[in-house]
Structure 1
Amino acid sequence: MGGRLPLLAPDALDADQQKLYDALTAKMVPWANQSGFRADTADGRVIGPFNAMLRSPRISQALLALTNAEGEFTALSERVRQVVILTVGALWRADYELYAHAAVGAQAGFDAATVGALVAGEKPAALSAAESLAYDLTHRLTAQHQIPADLYGQAVATFGEKGVVDLIYLAGHYMIISGLLNTFAVPAPAPS
């Protein structure tokens, strides 16, 4: 399940990889399990973007610090965050990302139809006004790379300047993750 990269065995890691692996298995793998998706194999190898991240452990440590900071300091609700993540994942067609965050989106309270629409790259009708705006802003930024003045104005009025910055950080972060997943052709695990 490493796609183009073989899964690294925990006992074959160098010191920098081991430090990153320890951080991943202490926080990200348990979070994935609690969220309803797999981030490791039965023998302890990490999957998804984490296997690729082990190839550049020092930069990946910084990316993991961004992940942690975004989760702790964001102005965005969890539901808005999942709309952003799933919108990016759908536009990138990142199978593992969609697999993982479909589970997280369901845990955030979205029904199956809403999650299914987001995964399919469609705007669900059941989104709140803020969630709908997050979809529009993320879709426009990811697909067209420009934000028109009226959409920007709506975003600032809804999320505040900090919230708009937080949304861009989140979308950009998941563009990086989706880029790793797609470059290395990382699949979603087969349903069990």
Structure 2
Amino acid sequence: MARLRRTPPHDLDPAAGELYEKITTGPRGRFMVDPAGGLTGPFNAMLLSPAVGDPLQELGAAVRYRSSLGDRARELAILVVAAHQDSAFEQAAHEQIARGLGFTDEQLRALRDGAPLSLPDAGEAAVLAVTRALVTKGDLDDDEYALLGERELFELTTLVGYYTTLALQLRVFRV
């Protein structure tokens, strides 16, 4: 059962209202709004502290919409984090996106289960290997470090940290 009440926009204080507008009019659109107008997923908790929630959602927008990681590589990494963190919300939301990017049910199952997955694209295979190392070991050996460029590594480690944070918040607030 959810621990955090979804607050309709008319009940928000001005700072939370500004953040609500930023989230719902941004690239995520109204995807994260329930029928009563409350935010779903991790965004509802961000309204508790707009001073922290706004930079957090901005980081998420940068990771999702402004990084050099391709769409498939990004969703692949998010799904590895979601599976490792056992985050049903992240899993469901991002499996839907991944399907739209051409991931098969078999590939999604392998990501969910942490099973071996052979990917024909070398860049995606590298992202998979590096992300799995990051979530299981919290570090990379020299061979894993060499699989991606430093910019990609920076963006990927940021993505892993961001989605790990969301998974923790989703779990604590029982979203």
TM over 0.5: yes
Q: Does 1:63 align with 2:62?
A: no
Q: Which residue pairs with 1:43 in the alignment? A: 36
Moved over 6 A (4+): none
CA gap 1:101/1:72 in 2 versus in 1, 3 angstroms = closer
The residue number in structure 1 matching 2:29 is: 30
Q: Which among 57, 67, 70 is matched to residue 74 of structure 1?
A: 67
Q: Tell me by how many angstroms 1:7 deviates.
A: 1.3
Is the 2:130–2:147 contact (alpha carbons within 8 Å) kept by the matching residues of 1? no
CA distance in 1, matches of 2:19, 2:84: 29
How far off is 1:29 after superposition? 4.5
Aligned partner of 1:91 in structure 2 is: 84
Query: Which residues of structure 1 form unaligned runs of 5+?
Result: 33-38, 187-192
CA contact (8 A) 1:70 1:170 kept: yes
Q: Distance in 2 between matches of 1:123 and 1:79?
A: 17
Q: What displacement does 1:31 show?
A: 6.7
Give 1:106's match in structure 2, choosing from 99, 108, 113. 99
Distance of 1:31 and 1:133 partners within structure 2: 33
Q: Which amino acid aligns with 2:150?
A: E
Query: Quick one: distance in 2 between partners of 1:79 and 1:123?
Result: 17
User: For each residue in 1:79-137, what CA deviation from the matched residue of structure 2 results, as whole angstroms up to 9, or x when unmatched?
Assistant: 00011100001100011000100111112221222122212333433452221221111
Count of aligned pairs between the two proteins: 175
- Hey, what does 1:136 align to over in structure 2? 129
Q: Distance in 2 between matches of 1:127 and 1:50?
A: 35
Give 1:36's aligned residue: none
User: Is contact 1:76–1:163 with CA below 8 Å preserved after alignment?
Assistant: yes
Secondary structure of the residue aligned to 2:40 is coil
Change (3 A) 1:65 1:173: same
Q: Distance in 1 between matches of 2:50 and 2:135?
A: 27
Long gaps (5+) in structure 2: none
Aligned to 1:35: none
Would the aligned equivalents of 2:77 and 2:131 in 1 still touch at CA under 8 Å?
yes
Contact 2:64 2:74 in 1 (8 A): no
Say if 1:78 and 1:31 are closer, same or farther in 2 by CA, change over 3 A: farther
- After superposition, the C-alpha distances for 1:47-101 in whole angstroms (9 at most, x for unaligned) are 1101111111121111122223233431211100011100001100011000100
C-alpha RMSD of matched pairs (Å): 1.8
Q: 2:141 aligned to 137, 148, 169, which one? A: 148
Q: Distance in 2 between matches of 1:172 and 1:127?
A: 26
In 2, are the aligned partners of 1:29 and 1:40 still within 8 Å (CA)?
A: no
In structure 2, C-alpha distance between the alignment counterparts of 1:31 and 1:8, rounded to whole Å: 15
Who is 2:157 aligned against?
168
Match of 2:18 in 1: 19
